[in-house]
Structures are given as structure tokens and as C-alpha cells.
Amino acid sequence: MTTKTISLDQPVFDLLNQVPEVQPVMIAIGLDGVTNPLMLQTAGRFMTLRKGAKMKEIPLVQLITALHNAGFEVAEV
């Protein structure tokens, strides 16, 4: 299995186009706006994982741990 590297500062729209398998992890941690196609097309173009976690009051360490547990590597923490 190849480890995919994810940036916390990449727009969610771009991230999901490049790494769609990260979506269930985002949903599980509470970043559920990614299930709405309209939200992805609008807010998803400027919203990042870092901003989304802050907005939803999800500790960054919790987000990074969830991504690591799902087999992703997080760049520039």
C-alpha cells in the first residue's frame, strides 16, 4: 500500500479530487460538509482541513491522528 501525503492547507475541493479516499476520514472526524456537492463547489474551493478543523473546534492533533490511522501522511504539520 502506498502512503498518500495530504496537506492540511490544500483546498478541500482539490484534495478530494486528488485523494477521494480521504472523504470517509473527514466525515468520521466531523468535517461532514464534504458530503454536500454544493458546499464542495463553493466553500470547498477555499476551505482547508486546517480551517475546517478550527471552525468545527476539532483539535488539530485529533485530525492528524485520524489521518495517520487511516494510512495517510500529513505534510508540513
CA angle at 70 for the pair 69 and 72, rounded to the nearest 5° = 95
* Confidence tier at 3 by pLDDT (50, 70, 90): confident
Average pLDDT score over residue span 4-18: 96
Instruction: Identify the structural domains of the chain with CATH numbers, from first to last.
Output: 4-75 (1.10.3910.10)
pLDDT tens column, 25-77 = 999 999 999 999 999 999 999 999 999 999 999 999 999 999 999 999 999 76
Average pLDDT score over residue span 7-31: 96
Q: Which helix (H) or strand (E) holds 51?
A: helix 49-55
Q: Which helix (H) or strand (E) holds 72?
A: strand 72-75
Is a pLDDT exceeding 70 seen at residue 1? no
